Amino acid sequence: MNLGKLLIATGAVLILAGLFVVLLNRANVPLGKLPGDIVYRGKNTAVYFPIVSSIVISVVLSAVLYVISRSRR
Q: How far apart are CA 25 and CA 41, in angstroms?
A: 23
Rounded mean pLDDT, 46-51: 92
What pTM value is reported for the model? 0.64
Q: How far apart are CA 36 and CA 51, in angstroms?
A: 7
Residue 33: pLDDT band with limits 50, 70, 90 = confident
Q: How far apart are CA 59 and CA 45, in angstroms?
A: 30
Rounded mean pLDDT, 51-73: 90
What are the distances in angstroms from CA 29 to CA 5, 12, 23, 45, 57? 33, 23, 9, 25, 12
Q: How far apart are CA 68 and CA 31, in angstroms?
A: 24
Rounded mean pLDDT, 8-32: 87
What percent of the chain is predicted at pLDDT more than 70?
99
Output the pLDDT for position 17: 86
pLDDT of 1 above 80: no
